[in-house]
Amino acid sequence: MTAILEADKITKKYGIVEVVHGISFQVEEGEVFGLLGPNGAGKTTSISMLTGLFPPTSGSAKIGGYDIQKEPLKAKQITGLVPQDLALYPTLSARANLNFFGRVYGLRGKDLKERVSDVLHIVGLADRADETIEKYSGGMKRRINIAAGLVHQPRLLFLDEPTVGVDPQSRNHIFDSVQKLNRERGMTIIYTSHYMEEVQLLCNRVAIIDMGNLVALDTIKNLVAMLGGGVIQIGLNKVDDQILAELSALPAVKTASLAPVIAVAPAAAGRDGGAVTTSPTPVVKIEAVQGQRALIEVIQYFNERDIPVVSLETLEPNLESVFLHLTGKKLRE
Amino acid sequence: MRTLGITIKDLHVFFLERSNYIWVFILPMVFILLFTLVSGAAQNRPAEETAIKLVVLDQDGGSESQNLINRLEGTEGVKVEKLDAAAVEQLRSKEELAYLLTFPAGYSSAVSSGQPATLNLEKVKGTDNEFENLKLIVVGVASDLSLETQILESLVMVGEMQKAAPDVQPLFTVEQMQAQAKYQFEKSHTQPLVVISSSSPQTILERLKDKTKEITWAQSVVPGFTVLFVFMTAAITAQSIYEEKRVGTFRRLLAAPLRRANLMVGKLFPNFIVVMIQVVVVFAASILILPLLGSGGVTLGNDPLALVLLCMAMALCATALGLAISALARTESQISGGSQLFLWLTGILGGCLVPLTLFNNPTLTSISRFVPQSWAIQGLQDLMVRGLGMQAVLPEIAALLAFSLVFLLVGALRFDFD
């Protein structure tokens, strides 16, 4: 497989605040690649740099072999962007919107007509194409928003949070469209979301971004495997090194450590940031080899020593718990 | 072609929005009609209200000077006030003296003996427009009197010739009498008995000779409101760019294979086209409707090419101003409220509502040179009201292009693509 996107240490600074810290990754042609991270993690800024909306402060990227700064027009011609906002002209019809965006990418005449008709069928709105956008429901607008990014048949499509504020029916339609575009037309898709379920459903590989840093990049299977048998988080009044060592030594436990807790400190961290502090009520994070057995062993350990447990939470091995494990916070915080 | 696609789309969006029709086409016509009616009503005020007050200083005190004063008093449009030298100086010191007509000593004896005499008409404080009207009236009355005096004099001369030699001189034929009257009539024009010399403050004389013809408020209504609302489209351009950014379509266009310069040209060109359409509609409507209201009507002047070029320079300037506003204004309220306020104020300062000459304030006139509207109005007035040509409006076109360049530079340097 060849890489259609190669990002090399791309960084974005606003003044003195760095919001994307030199992230590097590659996307192979034909894959659905997920960019997962909470709101404000730097996903949209990264996509904006890669689609040529603004240049990176440092670093470089290539799309289809074209450097996005040296040959931006060639790179943009094979790229499609579906922005997070409903980037459409509300007083124009869906067809007029699609005709316009097609023309901007150089389509004309019969080609344009066919492409517009095709994308209207893909998003299932061919029968309502001549209604103005302002008369559409939120879900229908989202679908036309996607169609506008597809009309010129890009090889690489960036979908930036395409399901925000969408009803379940339209959401399912969007999922179907993404899968069909990838499977039937071989389109490479970079799908950003803060919904773990969507990324898990659609993507082959996932890059997890937090506070402008790339904290993990792998297949979903490998990322989930990092957690082994899951994670147990136990709140205690007091924790010492001996407790952590004894818990780590239990047969069904892989590691036990003190969990960091995120406290947002905007003044210090700037646009996307947060700062890590220690919680006043300590939480022990236990990575299990085998979840059920580890839970029994841990509870038994505290009962035998008469140590009161303040809170207890078990995390199934999935992307959400991977994110929590890697960043110490939940995706939707 | 991609740039043209953006232009066509923007024009499509523009003409779908009904409020744009109000701002661009309906409001200018409403203001033009309203102000034409108001200025027309001002012109139709009773004669005693609109009569120009003329102070007369009679240093001669003879019968001929009194004769001319009586004629002036009987003329509609002038209110004569005869004062002595002390009273005139008192008025002058109080700055209450507008126009002064002085009869020099010896005036009557000169006129009686058929020798030319000169009257001095002075503008001390009044308006250029009134002064021009007053000059016409005084010259007209003096000419009539000259003609009358010269014809009477010739008839007396003929009578005396007949009386002196009744046998030698047969009775004058009708043809001879007509020839004599014709000769005197022509002489009254080429060698008038009474010559009016006029003087006025230096500020007015400093202007170019071919631009000194003052225009009335009514004549300035169409050029004034056309310019005001042409520049108002700058706010629509700025709003369109702001909306494109707010909705997110601007991001989408930035992600498309377009150079930023092409994108901006595509965004700005629609305003240029809208202004050209606006000017055609407003001029056409004014030409058709204003005569129905009893107004003197509107003409496009004598130089269509100059008018087209001036309108294109105006359109470019208004469009570039829209870009500058969109680059400098950061919030919707700054664009919708702030820019409207700015455009109204500069429009008023530029003389869009009331011609600056009516204020007769040199400071205001100097300041107005720093807003593009004043140059645009000056150009339109020169072409449409004064009937001048390309040569006369080249400075105005150059000034509008210079303003456009400044606005484009500000827009290009400050525009936030992020």
Instruction: Quick: pLDDT tens for B273-283.
Output: 999 999 999 99
Name which of A181-185, B67-71, B192-196, B357-361 the model is least confident about: B192-196
Q: Which of B391, B212, B235, B398 lies closest to B328 in space, CA to CA?
A: B235
Give chain B's length: 418
**Average pLDDT of the residues in A223-249:** 86
Cα separation of A118 and A108, whole Å? 15
The pTM of this model reads 0.69
Whether the per-residue pLDDT at B205 is higher than 70: the answer is no
Helix, strand, coil content of chain A in percent (nearest 5):
35, 30, 35
Residue A231 contacts residue A283 (beta carbons within 8 Å): no
Q: For A52, which residue in chain B has the nearest alpha carbon?
A: B255
Rounded percentage of chain B residues whose pLDDT exceeds 70: 78
For residue B5, the distance in angstroms to the closest alpha carbon of chain A comes to 6
Contact B248 A96 (CB under 8 A): no
Of the candidate ranges A124-128, B166-170, B413-417, the one whose mean pLDDT is the lowest: B166-170
Q: If you average pLDDT over residues A226-240, what whole number do you get? A: 83
Closest residue to B255, CB basis, from A74, A81, A88 = A81
Q: What is the mean pLDDT of residues A82-93?
A: 91
Contact B247 A81 (CB under 8 A): no
Any bridge partners for residue A193, and if so which? A36
How far, in Å, CA of A33 to CA of A44, rounded? 15
Mean pLDDT of chain B: 82
CB pairs under 8 A between A and B: 78
Distance of CA B282 to the CA centre of its chain: 18
What is the average per-residue pLDDT within B129-156?
75
The strand pairing partners of B100, in sequence order, are B55, B122
Instruction: Please give the angle made by the CA atoms of A186, A188 and A191, to the nearest 5 degrees.
Output: 135
Amino acid at residue number A283: V
- Whether the per-residue pLDDT at A10 is higher than 90: the answer is yes
B249 neighbors A89 (Cβ within 8 angstroms) = yes
Smallest CA-to-CA distance from B287 within B211, B150, B198, B384 is with: B384
Give the whole-angstrom CA distance, residue A281 versus residue B34. 76
What pLDDT, on the 0 to 100 scale, is given for residue B216? 67
Identity of the amino acid at A25? F
pLDDT for B78 equals: 83
Quote the CA–CA distance of B200 and B197 in Å, as a whole number.
11
Q: Name the phi and psi angles at B139, rounded to 5.
A: -60, -40
pLDDT tier for residue B98 given thresholds of 50, 70 and 90: confident
Q: How large is the average pLDDT for residues B38-57?
A: 68
Task: Enumerate residues 6+ apart whose C-beta is below 8 A from A89.
Answer: A96, A97, A100, A133, B9, B13, B247, B249
Question: Which residues does B207 contact at the CB level (< 8 Å), separation at least 6?
Answer: none
Region of poorest pLDDT, from A15-24, B197-206, B250-259: B197-206
Give CA separation, B169 vs B26, B157, B165, B184, in Å. Answer: 77, 13, 6, 21
Amino acid at A155: R
**Strand residues in A104-252 grouped as ranges (E):** 156-160, 188-193, 205-210, 213-219, 231-236
Task: Kindly indicate the confidence band of residue B207, based on its pLDDT and cuts at 50, 70 and 90.
Answer: very low
ipTM score for this prediction = 0.78
Between B136 and B378, residue with greater pLDDT? B378
Look at B17 and A74 and tell me if their CB atoms are within 8 Å.
Answer: no
Cross-chain residue pair B2–A92, CB shorter than 8 Å = no
pLDDT bin (cut points 50, 70, 90) of residue B150 is: low
- Chain A residues in contact with B259 by the CB 8 A cut-off are 73
Of A73, A83, A108, the CB nearest to B251: A83
Q: What is the least distance, in Å, from the CA of A221 to any CA of chain B?
A: 33
pLDDT tens digits, B70-95: 888 887 778 889 888 899 898 888 88
Of B61, B71, B139, give the one whose Cα is nearest residue B104. Answer: B61
Helices and strands in chain A, H and E counts: 12, 16
Convert the pLDDT of each residue in B157-190 to its tens digit. Answer: 767 776 776 666 555 666 666 676 667 666 665 6
Within 10 A of A280 (CB to CB), how many other CB atoms are there? 6
Question: pLDDT confidence of B33, banded at 50, 70, 90?
Answer: confident
Chain A's closest residue to B245, CA to CA, is A87
Nearest CA in chain B to A82: B252
For residue B295, pLDDT over 70 is answered with no
Supply A270's token pair. Answer: 């700037």
Residue B156, pLDDT > 90, answer no
List all residues 6 or more positions away from A304 whose beta carbon is below 8 Å from its beta carbon: none
Q: Of A247-251, B285-289, B321-325, B362-366, where does mean pLDDT reach its minimum?
A: B362-366
* HSE of B87, CA atoms in CB hemisphere, 13 A: 10
